């Protein structure tokens, strides 16, 4: 909503994607507040003090572009929060202090480790946002149950804020505060992807999920990345013939882009996140091995574990599979890899 005391805008390196800073901010406003000219016009009419910018991955911007970016942001936004890595050879405070008007100041803060009390508070806030029941007592009780379950099942969880956010969303959508499945990571990951796609298109999700597996397999094992619209069209056409379906390339791409599963540049497509790519490669391998197809892909991944996203593929595969052949292969390769590690040598 563009009406309120403060109007926040979020941008990161994906928002830039070849755009200059003015176009990047415009794209972010339209994406977050409505894809129409009126939203951006209203944003421009706001007083500077009402505009808040959160900019992530600032250190990934090439240094020669930063001065012009800072000039525009300081003149446009009343509050700017910049997130960067701790060790970066660029002093933001020194760079901007001469550009600030009277009364404006720059400060540096460090994010401390994410311990249990902060996790509890995060879960409460997320639960309030995701649940229709915002009664404070009920929110606290439900959040505490989720937090206790996470603490008791820590081996199943990635305890970073992003995954916790995904898990709380999963719990509220499924009305399940203490899921006891050992495949919780895979279920939560896929549920959030499906939820994003259903908001754009409630139908054809199963077909799209299978196509994402095929596309990810093609990308990774044929080193075809980013993948062109022509190659996407071939995969979809093959799928339509094999399964007597009628999936439209344009409809598929529209859903993937709007759900932020894909991003596009110059008629080439890539996954919005390498985690998405790794997940669907893992899903594809699991499907293939369960159907009796084995083209030595596991051997290739395990032998090249430190390259590209192979480690993440194997991690996702270990979460989502119940195929003993796959799990045994991972075990054998792990033992081979750590055979010379003194702490793992068998007596």
Mean pLDDT over residues 114-131, rounded? 86
List Cβ neighbours of 121 (8 Å cut-off, separation of 6 or more).
none
d(CA 249, CA 112): 45
pTM (2 d.p.) = 0.69
* pLDDT given for residue 51 in this prediction: 94
**Separation of CA 51 from chain center:** 25
Question: Rounded to whole angstroms, how far apart are CA atoms 29 and 24?
Answer: 9
For the segment 31-53, the average pLDDT, to the nearest whole number, is 86
Query: What is the percent of the chain with per-residue pLDDT over 90, rounded to a whole number?
Result: 31
Q: List helix spans (H) across the chain.
A: 13-16, 21-33, 37-45, 66-76, 92-96, 116-130, 136-152, 161-174, 184-200, 205-221, 229-243, 249-258, 274-290, 297-303, 310-320, 324-337
Q: What is the pLDDT of residue 203?
A: 76
Specify the 3-state DSSP secondary structure of 52: strand
Angle 58-159-129 (CA atoms, 0-180°, nearest 5)? 75
pLDDT digits (tens, 9 = 90+) for 270-315: 998 888 999 999 999 999 999 988 888 988 888 887 778 898 898 8
pLDDT in tens, 318-328: 888 888 888 88
* Average pLDDT estimate for 124-135: 85
pLDDT digits (tens, 9 = 90+) for 84-105: 887 777 888 888 888 888 788 8
Q: For 77-90, what is the mean pLDDT?
A: 86
Report helix angle 274-290 to 310-320, nearest 10.
Answer: 50
Question: Rounded to an integer, what is the distance from CA 310 to the centroid of its chain?
Answer: 18
**pLDDT, tens digit, for every residue of 158-217?**
677 877 888 888 888 877 665 555 567 777 888 888 888 988 887 778 899 999 999 999
Whether the per-residue pLDDT at 343 is higher than 70: the answer is no
């Amino acid at each position: 909503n563009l009406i309120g005391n403060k109007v926040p805008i979020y941008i990161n390196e994906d928002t830039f994607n070849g755009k200059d800073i003015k176009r990047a901010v415009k794209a972010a406003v339209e994406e977050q507040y409505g894809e129409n000219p009126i939203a951006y016009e209203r944003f421009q009419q706001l007083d500077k003090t009402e505009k808040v910018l959160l900019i992530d991955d600032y250190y990934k911007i090439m240094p020669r572009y930063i001065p012009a970016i800072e000039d525009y942001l300081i003149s446009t936004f009343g509050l700017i929060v910049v997130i960067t890595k701790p060790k970066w050879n660029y002093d933001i405070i020194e760079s901007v202090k001469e550009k600030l008007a009277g009364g404006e100041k720059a400060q540096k803060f460090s994010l401390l480790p994410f311990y249990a009390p902060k996790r509890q508070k995060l879960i409460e806030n997320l639960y309030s946002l995701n649940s229709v029941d915002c009664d404070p007592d009920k929110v606290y009780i439900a959040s505490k149950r989720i937090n206790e379950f996470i603490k008791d099942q820590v081996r199943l969880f990635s305890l970073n804020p992003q995954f916790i956010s995904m898990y709380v969303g999963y719990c509220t959508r499924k009305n399940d505060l203490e899921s006891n499945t050992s495949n919780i990571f895979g279920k939560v990951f896929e549920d959030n992807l499906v939820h994003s796609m259903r908001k754009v298109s409630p139908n054809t999700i199963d077909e799209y999920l299978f196509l994402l597996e095929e596309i990810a397999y093609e990308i990774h094992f044929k080193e075809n990345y980013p993948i062109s619209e022509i190659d996407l069209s071939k995969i979809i056409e093959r799928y339509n013939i094999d399964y007597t379906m009628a999936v439209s390339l344009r409809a598929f791409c529209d859903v993937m882009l709007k759900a932020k599963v894909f991003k596009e540049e110059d008629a080439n497509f890539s996954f919005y996140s390498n985690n998405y790519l790794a997940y669907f490669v893992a899903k594809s391998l699991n499907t293939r091995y369960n159907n009796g197809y084995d083209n030595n892909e596991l051997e290739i991944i395990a032998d090249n574990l430190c390259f590209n996203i192979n480690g993440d593929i194997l991690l996702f595969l270990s979460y989502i599979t119940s195929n003993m052949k796959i799990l045994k292969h991972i075990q054998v390769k792990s033992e081979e890899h750590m055979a010379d590690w003194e702490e793992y040598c068998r007596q």
